[in-house]
Amino acid sequence: MRFPLKLNLDLTHYIVRNAFRGVEKFPLVLMLEPTHLCNLSCSGCGRIREYAATLAEEMSLEECLRSVDECPAPVVTITGGEPLLYTHVHGLIDGVLARKKHIYFCTNGILLKDALEWMRPHPNFTLNVHMDGMETTHNRILEHPNAFAIAIEGIRAAKRAGFRIWTNTTIFKETDLKEIDELFTLLSGMGVDGFLVAPGFGYEAVGEKLFLERREIERKFREVFEMSKRHRILSTPMYLRFLMGEKKLECTPWGNPTRNTQGWKAPCYLITDTHYPSYRDMMEKTDWDRYGVGKDERCAQCMMHCGFEPSVVRELGKNWRDMWEMIVWNLK
């Protein structure tokens, strides 16, 4: 099975319960950024640029756990910045797991090996390591001469310690997909459990040079779709068909709400119009109809998973063919 059974069951139960209760807008994954502090300065990173003035700030552990309680999403992505630099990272992981939620823990891998001294595997815990290419490419994008070797060493050690590991790869304009195929072959051989792949999107804070435009995304992701027949790529087939230009999806900006040191970021993970003090304020006060492709010019090129993977869930109940494709994909 592509996703862990427990995660599948918990997500299905949550989605069915919301559908049964007639809840129209509900989140799937909370993106929690307890700090934007990072030990790297990657070329394509919007976060360290957008939040440059508040990089050193941290959420308190209480604020983090209150946010986890406020937002009903069954999955919490702990991200940043580099979340291993967060002072209360240990307490945060324990607190989220104690609430029986699932954690995707995103890291650039630089501190991973050291963290294994205190981190313990858990059925609801997945490490998600940022890998943007083979050695030369990865080191160039992460602007660190040994980022690749350090991350690979951390992944090997984490697999030996029994962790579930996924990696997360951004496809930029210049990404050579043969190299990504080589990377996935290497990582599969090390026992990595799955690969998340997303198109690079031009954050307001970064500029456009690195990023793909819609037509380029469609071309590159036709190759990624072929690759998904050989590697355990975790993006859903419907989302991949959307990226290839074969399927239309409307954005679901509330699907992956983001909480960080400044509050609840609205309208989405990528663009910021304001930060609200509470999850409820964000859900009730954001004018969701203003956002999405064709509605806001900042959305024009966006095909990001944080906006469109939740749309796959909204679409699933409408078509048995899509549902069947999803079941087969998940069981493979």
Interacting residues with ligand SF4 (CB under 6 A): 38, 40-42, 45, 47-48, 80-82, 108, 130, 251, 253, 267-268, 270-271, 291-293, 298-299, 302, 304, 306-307
In the complex with ligand SF4, the residue whose CB is nearer, 66 or 113, is: 113
In the complex with ligand SF4, the residue whose CB is nearer, 41 or 136, is: 41
Tell the smallest beta-carbon distance from residue 293 to ligand SF4 (Å): 6
In the complex with ligand SF4, the residue whose CB is nearer, 68 or 302, is: 302
**Residue 318, C-beta contacts closer than 8 angstroms, at least 6 positions apart:** none
Tell the smallest beta-carbon distance from residue 272 to ligand SF4 (Å): 10
In the complex with ligand SF4, the residue whose CB is nearer, 65 or 131, is: 131
Helix (H, G, I), strand (E, B) or coil at 107: strand
Residue of closest CB approach to ligand SF4: 307
CA neighbor of 276 nearest in space, from 70, 49, 56, 52: 70
Neighbours of 71 (CB within 10 A): 24
Tell the smallest beta-carbon distance from residue 123 to ligand SF4 (Å): 26
Tell the smallest beta-carbon distance from residue 47 to ligand SF4 (Å): 5
**Residue 280, C-beta contacts closer than 8 angstroms, at least 6 positions apart:** 70
The sign of the CA dihedral 66, 57, 299, 45 is: negative
How far, in Å, CA of 58 to CA of 199, rounded?
Answer: 29
Tell the smallest beta-carbon distance from residue 248 to ligand SF4 (Å): 13
In the complex with ligand SF4, the residue whose CB is nearer, 199 or 292, is: 292
List the structure tokens of 154.
């951390």
In the complex with ligand SF4, the residue whose CB is nearer, 10 or 283, is: 283
Tell the smallest beta-carbon distance from residue 129 to ligand SF4 (Å): 10
Tell the smallest beta-carbon distance from residue 226 to ligand SF4 (Å): 26
Q: Give me the phi and psi of 135, to 5 degrees please.
A: -50, -55
Rounded to the nearest 10 degrees, how much is the dihedral formed by the CA atoms of 194, 104, 244, 320?
A: 90
In the complex with ligand SF4, the residue whose CB is nearer, 62 or 204, is: 204
How far, in Å, CA of 183 to CA of 278, rounded?
Answer: 41
In the complex with ligand SF4, the residue whose CB is nearer, 12 or 41, is: 41
CA distances from 207 to 77, 204, 213, 233, 313 (A): 25, 6, 13, 28, 31
**Residue 44, C-beta contacts closer than 8 angstroms, at least 6 positions apart:** 141, 170, 172, 200, 206, 210, 211
Orientation of helix 135-142 relative to helix 147-160, angle to 10°: 110
Tell the smallest beta-carbon distance from residue 48 to ligand SF4 (Å): 5
SS3 assignment for 161-197 = CCCEEEEEEEECCCCCHHHHHHHHHHHHHCCCCEEEE
